[in-house]
């Protein structure tokens, strides 16, 4: 198995262009669609202006770990919005706020939601404070009980909904694109098996003391490692060069990627079993990869989909579970429990495809 | 050492190999001769355990290979008809990989690579990519790979197809050397009669999936020992003339060849005079006449009514 694996790497060294171009493609797509990290601390900058006692609001707003609010002058704000340099700006008033909007921007909607929440909460606190003797104490009390609630209602709507959060959006794009392009790399390299069967090197290997399962394993493992390298490179590039620097759950991330790659490698084997000619595969591979990515939510979040059939179909797509689990591990830090179910699906999917695929392939011969 | 018993292979409804019996003794060199589509490659695939026979058996030292393919794989080196190499790698890298899967490592592997490269005469070009090799050089590496693990039995499927005469005679000499000096048992497949004639102790002739004749060269030729061949170059080539000659009871066979016709007649029948009479009657000009003792090519023609390469 090791010999077969090493051989594939030697061959890759001779013709690395395809693999490299998929990495580059992924990076370009993510960068264009998801955007580069816009501020060094990973937060989205929102420009605000206003007169009077607004500093307190600014501090409150800046408690966000998604947005960074910065004051500019009213003139600047108006000028920039007018010229289109800014799509919108926030006007702070002592007791209220307002948005100055130049261009429609989905980002603005989520900023507005956030600002509204902050104002609402603060006003409620103020109302309560008026009715008691020791306003500071009650404030602490409320904050404390909010930090340690009796009952937690767990909602993920803010993250899961399309474009509610720019960081979520960027991760969605990065994860979706990486998982999409890696399918090509894997499918392309699995085609090597068919090529070897055609040009006779496969028979040569079969006649040697190496067992057939070892030959398959060599190829499969190679595709797996290659896929891992590709996703790894993309994630690292975005983390260290483009400021996608969320805290991530490391182990769940690794395990999810592994399970996903296993599922895709197995799917590739199934396709090899179904189509025995390289030309057929060249036609089928992109259809399967792109179709699956569309249905599985690699190009847009599934929340943007309302069609019932599409949603039902997405549930059969391994990429959906890969994205789901990776978002949970890289974005929401929900720990291992959150990724277990998707991983279980991916493994099951992989085992089934692999079983059918190898059976089909070996039957074709006899 | 190796024998087949009523070996048969059916592809859907085509009978590619139709119940052949053959045997090979240790140290022999055997030729398997037949035109395109005769079933040579299919036979070889079955012997080397790459495909299972539909019926029949193959035995190595009395043990069935069909039931236990590992037996034959251990002693076998196969040179496939098509070049089976990694084109984008160098000859050295190819040899290294195929050596590794035969569990060769380190110094021993290097030594074997060195020795087979020497044998096929490509020592200097070992670092070049296979795709940059000439057809003849690719063929030689194709053979080298099969020799790495020093097999007891070497099976070669048309190893000289489509290459220059120089590479071809190099390969033939090499095979003879392997057989005579190292005692390697060789099964050599070809549709070049002269190769098999030069190289092999015994010959099997195959056509339409069947073995139609077998034996040493001399035995095969004795089939035609009472006949002789007359080659007549003529201008123009007249079908009517050949038809008329065919009706002559004393002429066994008439075939059209490149520049004229080939006649098989009983030895000493002295047909030349009557042939000249006929050519004159048909207004055909005879440009050359040649009377030959039979070749294996003629044996094949005699047995099948067609030439090896049509
Ligand atoms: N895998 C296959 N499926 C169907 N038919 C096949 C297959 N392999 C060979 N045949 C058929 O079996 C017959 C014998 O083929 P084979 O390749 O054994 O001939 P051959 O003697 O090696 O010819 P050549 O000199 O052209 O190599 C041919 O008619 C061929 O079309
Ligand atoms: Mg053949």
Pocket test for ligand 1, best of B41, B52, B189 (most atoms within 8 A of CB): B41
Domain end point (choices B187, B220, B253):
B220
What per-residue confidence (pLDDT) applies to A308? Answer: 85
Domain, as residue range, for B284? 226-293
Residue written as token pair 């090597």: A192
Average pLDDT over residues B161-179: 89
Same domain, B258 and B138: no
Q: Has residue B161 been placed in a domain?
A: yes
Rounded to whole angstroms, the Cα distance separating B160 from B176 reads 14
pLDDT-based confidence at B129, cuts 50/70/90?
very high
What per-residue confidence (pLDDT) applies to B224? Answer: 67
Same domain, B202 and B103: yes
For chain B, strand residue ranges (E) read 2-11, 14-24, 29-33, 55-60, 63-64, 76-79, 153-157, 185-190, 202-207, 210-215, 227-235, 253-256, 260-266, 285-292
Q: What percent of chain B has pLDDT over 70?
A: 98
Q: Has residue B301 been placed in a domain?
A: no
The dihedral over CA atoms of B302, B308, B309, B310, expressed in degrees to the nearest 10, equals 40
Length of chain A: 366
Q: Indicate the fold that domain A44-147 takes in CATH.
A: D-Maltodextrin-Binding Protein; domain 2 (3.40.190)
Specify the residue with its C-alpha closest to ligand 1, atom 1.
B11
Rounded to whole angstroms, the Cα distance separating B118 from B120 reads 6
Same domain, B124 and B233: no
Strand B153-157 with B55-60, pairing = unpaired
User: How remote is the CA of residue A198 from the centroid of ligand 1, in Å?
Assistant: 15
Q: Has residue B179 been placed in a domain?
A: yes
Query: Exposed (0-12), middle (13-18) or buried (19+): which is B237, by Cβ within 10 Å?
Result: middle
What per-residue confidence (pLDDT) applies to A160? Answer: 41
User: How remote is the CA of residue A200 from the centroid of ligand 2, in Å?
Assistant: 13
| Sign of the alpha-carbon dihedral angle for B83, B84, B89, B92 | negative
Show residues of chain B in contact with A365, CB under 8 Å. Answer: 51
What per-residue confidence (pLDDT) applies to A290? Answer: 93
Q: In the structure, how many helices (H) and strands (E) does chain B have?
A: 11, 14
Same domain, B70 and B171: yes
Residue B294 has pLDDT above 80, yes or no: no
What per-residue confidence (pLDDT) applies to B248? Answer: 86
Q: What is this structure's pTM?
A: 0.74
What per-residue confidence (pLDDT) applies to A340? Answer: 92
pLDDT digits (tens, 9 = 90+) for A126-156: 888 888 777 777 778 777 777 776 666 655 5
CB nearest B101 (choices: A3, A11, A366): A3
Task: Report yes or no: B132 at the A interface, CB cutoff 8 Å.
Answer: no
What per-residue confidence (pLDDT) applies to A158? Answer: 45
Average pLDDT over residues B249-257: 87
Residue B99 has pLDDT above 60, yes or no: yes
Residue A43 DSSP code? P
Task: Report yes or no: B68 at the A interface, CB cutoff 8 Å.
Answer: no
User: Would you say A250 and A319 are in contact if contact means Cβ atoms under 8 Å apart?
Assistant: no
What per-residue confidence (pLDDT) applies to B299? Answer: 78
Same domain, B177 and B235: no
What per-residue confidence (pLDDT) applies to A201? Answer: 95
Same domain, B161 and B249: no
User: How remote is the CA of residue B45 from the centroid of ligand 2, in Å?
Assistant: 10
CB-ligand 1 contact for B81 (6 Å cutoff)? yes
CB-ligand 1 contact for B9 (6 Å cutoff)? no
Q: How far is CA B294 from CA B25, B50, B261, B267, in A?
A: 28, 38, 15, 11
Long-range contacts at A104-109 (CB < 8 A, ≥ 24 apart): A106/A162, A106/A163, A107/A44, A107/A163, A107/A166, A109/A163, A109/A164
Strand B55-60 with B63-64, pairing = antiparallel
Residue-range domain boundaries for chain A: 2-34+163-365, 44-147
Q: At what angle do helices A166-199 and A2-14 cross, to 10 degrees?
A: 110
Number of domains in chain B: 2
Q: At what angle do helices A250-274 and A212-240 cross, to 10 degrees?
A: 130
Q: pLDDT under 70 in chain A at which residues?
A: 35-43, 149-166, 364-366
A182-186, A231-235, B219-223, B283-287: segment of lowest average pLDDT: B219-223
Average pLDDT over residues B126-148: 93
User: Would you say A114 and A67 are in contact if contact means Cβ atoms under 8 Å apart?
Assistant: yes
Same domain, B27 and B46: yes
Same domain, B169 and B271: no
Length of chain B: 310
| Complex ipTM | 0.80
User: Would you say B183 and B27 are in contact if contact means Cβ atoms under 8 Å apart?
Assistant: yes
pLDDT-based confidence at B308, cuts 50/70/90?
low
Q: How far is CA A12 from CA A94, A219, B246, B282, in A?
A: 64, 12, 64, 69
How many other CB atoms are found less than 10 A from the CB of residue A325? 27
Domain CATH for B257: 3.30.70.920
Average pLDDT over residues B93-104: 94
Residue written as token pair 């050397």: B177
What per-residue confidence (pLDDT) applies to B228? Answer: 81
- Looking at ligand 1, which atom is closest to the CA of residue B17? 14
Q: How many CA atoms lie within 13 A of A365 on its CB side?
A: 16
Nearest CA-CA partner of B15 in B44, B54, B57, B41: B54
pLDDT digits (tens, 9 = 90+) for B20-56: 999 999 999 999 998 888 999 999 999 999 999 999 9
What per-residue confidence (pLDDT) applies to A154? Answer: 55
């Amino acid at each position: 198995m090791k010999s077969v694996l090493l051989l594939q790497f030697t061959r890759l060294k001779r013709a690395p262009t395809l693999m490299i171009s998929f990495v580059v493609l992924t990076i370009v797509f993510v960068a264009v669609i998801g955007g580069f990290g816009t501020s060094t601390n990973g937060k989205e900058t929102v420009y605000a202006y206003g007169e009077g006692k607004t500093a307190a609001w600014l501090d409150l707003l800046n408690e966000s770990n998604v947005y960074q609010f910065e004051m500019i002058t009213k003139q600047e704000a108006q000028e920039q919005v007018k010229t289109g340099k800014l799509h919108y700006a926030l006007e702070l008033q002592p007791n209220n706020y307002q948005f100055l909007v130049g261009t429609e921007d989905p980002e603005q909607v989520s900023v507005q939601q956030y600002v509204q929440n902050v104002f609402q909460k603060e006003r409620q606190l103020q109302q309560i404070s008026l009715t008691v003797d020791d306003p500071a104490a009650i404030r602490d009390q409320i904050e404390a009980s909010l930090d340690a609630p009796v009952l937690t209602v767990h909602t993920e709507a803010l993250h899961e909904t399309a474009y509610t959060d720019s960081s979520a959006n960027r991760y969605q794009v990065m994860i979706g694109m990486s998982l999409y392009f890696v399918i090509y790399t894997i499918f392309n390299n699995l085609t090597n098996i068919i090529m070897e069967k055609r040009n006779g090197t496969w028979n040569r290997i079969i006649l040697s003391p190496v067992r057939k399962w070892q030959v398959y394993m060599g190829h499969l493992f190679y595709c797996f490692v290659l896929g891992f390298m590709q996703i790894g490179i993309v994630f690292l590039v975005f983390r260290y060069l483009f400021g996608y620097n969320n805290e991530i759950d490391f182990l769940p991330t690794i395990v999810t990627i592994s399970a996903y790659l296993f599922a895709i490698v197995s799917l590739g084997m199934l396709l090899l079993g179904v189509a025995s000619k390289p030309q057929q595969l060249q036609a089928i591979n992109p259809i399967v990869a792109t179709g699956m990515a569309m249905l599985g939510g690699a190009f847009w979040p599934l929340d943007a989909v309302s069609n019932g059939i599409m949603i039902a179909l997405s549930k059969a797509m391994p990429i959906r579970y890969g994205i789901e689990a990776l978002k949970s591990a890289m974005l929401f830090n929900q720990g291992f429990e959150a990724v277990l179910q998707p991983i279980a699906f991916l493994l099951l999917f992989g085992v089934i495809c692999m079983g059918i695929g190898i059976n089909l392939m070996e039957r074709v011969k006899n | 050492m190796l024998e087949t018993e009523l070996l048969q292979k059916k592809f859907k409804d085509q009978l590619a190999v139709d119940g052949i019996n053959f045997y090979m003794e240790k140290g022999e060199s055997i030729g398997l001769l037949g035109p395109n589509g005769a079933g040579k490659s299919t036979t070889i695939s079955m012997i080397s355990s790459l495909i299972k026979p539909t019926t029949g058996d193959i035995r190595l030292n009395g043990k069935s290979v069909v039931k236990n393919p590992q037996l034959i794989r251990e002693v076998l080196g196969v040179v496939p008809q098509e070049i089976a190499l990694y084109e984008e790698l160098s000859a050295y890298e190819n040899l290294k990989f195929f050596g590794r899967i035969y569990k060769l490592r380190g110094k021993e592997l290097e030594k074997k690579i060195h020795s087979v490269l020497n044998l096929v005469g490509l020592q200097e070009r070992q670092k070049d990519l296979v795709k940059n090799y000439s057809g003849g050089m690719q063929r030689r590496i194709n053979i080298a790979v099969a020799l790495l693990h020093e097999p007891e039995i070497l099976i070669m499927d048309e190893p000289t197809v489509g290459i220059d005469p120089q590479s071809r005679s190099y390969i033939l000499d090499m095979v003879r050397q392997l057989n005579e000096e190292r005692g390697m048992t060789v099964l050599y497949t070809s549709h070049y009669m002269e190769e098999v004639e030069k190289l092999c102790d015994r010959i099997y002739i195959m056509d339409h999936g069947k073995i139609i004749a077998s034996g040493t060269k001399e035995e095969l030729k004795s089939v035609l020992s009472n006949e002789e061949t007359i080659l007549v170059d003529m201008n123009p080539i007249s079908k009517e003339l050949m038809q008329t000659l065919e009706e002559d009871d004393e002429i066994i066979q008439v075939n059209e060849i490149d520049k004229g016709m080939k006649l098989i007649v009983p030895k000493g029948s002295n047909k030349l005079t009557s042939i000249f009479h006929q050519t004159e009657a048909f207004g055909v000009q005879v440009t050359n006449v040649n009377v030959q003792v039979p070749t294996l090519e003629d044996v094949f023609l005699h047995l099948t009514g067609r030439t090896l390469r049509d």
